[in-house]
Amino acid sequence: MARAREGSSPLFAGNAAGTLRLIVYLALAVVLMVLDQRNGWLWQLRSAASAVVEPVYRLAGLPAAGVHTLGVAFADRQLLTSQNQRLREDLLLANAKLNRMAAVAEQNERLRRLLDTQHSLKLNVQLARVIGVDLGAYRYELTLNMGSRDGVEPGQPVIDAHGVMGQVKAVLPHTAVVMLITDPSHAIPVTIARTGLRTVAYGSRDGDQLSLPNLPLAADVRAGDKLLTSGIGGRFPPGFPVGRIDSVAPAPTGMFQVALATPAADLDRSTDVLLLHDQAEPKGPPDLPVPAGPPQVLAPAASASVAAPAVRPGQAGGVPR
């Protein structure tokens, strides 16, 4: 070992050259961070190096997968049997419900077609598997085993059997990173199922709850209310369960009520998730139907000249539901 070298590691003195190099490296790192924050280089670099990065992710995901496999391999036979039985019952129940729903869905579809709206109850989904990789963002991200080669795009909603989990944030050729709805920088438009009140649910700082910080003081919100996606904003399709309200309290400012909600989806237990393919609405609210009434030629000339610039059928913003 190079122990004999004198003066390479002085006991007390600091050398200026070392400090200078530190400063250069720190400055370089800061410049990189600022540029990356502006341009998103990290993900470009990751996709460029995906041939190296993705196998490493798969390798790092092996222990989690192994633990899961071991759990299945050493599970009690009785446990598996009871689990199987329960799943069978669930499937039976779900099928029965579906059969009844099919008729309702068909009727709904017909009525909606009559109303000329674009929403449909059809789901176009893709099954993906969660890779157990920790990408250093506390617990606000999931990694999936599908990427741009499988048709996954940033912005796609991700759901599981119980509700909305989040949306795809970035994709590599065979890997996608999902931002969970509990991420503090994530917001999802919701309605309260009981009252129809529209609001926005943000992720909370603790990482496993949702917070609804701006409910009007007069709004009727109670613990136990269910939250559904409202479909406003066009990112998440309407009608999916998001969570259930745990508590409501006045905000410290006294201007609003603040509610905390638990996500409906199993954010930290799901191993299989669904990627939704059709975006709910292309952009914004639906077009206004052409107003029925007397043709414009028959309308009084004065009112037509006032109304014409204000409302052009088919282009003006519609009334949110």
Q: Which residues bind other proteins (CB under 8 A)?
A: 1-2, 5, 8-11, 14, 18, 21-22, 25-26, 28-33, 35-37, 41-42, 45-46, 49, 53, 56-57, 59-60, 63-64, 67, 132-139, 184-185, 205-207, 268
SS3 content of the chain, % helix, strand, coil (to 5): 35, 25, 45
Q: How far is the CB of 59 from other proteins (least distance, A)?
A: 7
Q: How far is the CB of 261 from other proteins (least distance, A)?
A: 18
Q: In sequence order, which ranges of the chain are alpha helices (DSSP H)?
A: 16-39, 41-48, 50-73, 77-115, 301-310
Q: Which is nearer to other proteins, 167 or 209 (CB)?
A: 209
Q: How far is the CB of 266 from other proteins (least distance, A)?
A: 11
Q: Which is nearer to other proteins, 43 or 221 (CB)?
A: 43
Q: How far is the CB of 298 from other proteins (least distance, A)?
A: 58
Tokens of 97: 């419900």
Q: How far is the CB of 264 from other proteins (least distance, A)?
A: 18
What is the spatial distance between Cα 143 and Cα 69, in angstroms, rounded to a whole number?
19
Q: Which is nearer to other proteins, 54 or 225 (CB)?
A: 54
Which residues have a Cβ under 8 Å from the Cβ of 274 and sit 6 or more positions away? 125, 126, 127, 128, 158, 159, 160
Q: Which is nearer to other proteins, 57 or 236 (CB)?
A: 57
Tokens of 93: 């129940």
Q: Which is nearer to other proteins, 132 or 239 (CB)?
A: 132
CB 190 within 8 A of CB 199: yes
Torsion of CA 44, 46, 51, 57, to 10 degrees: -150
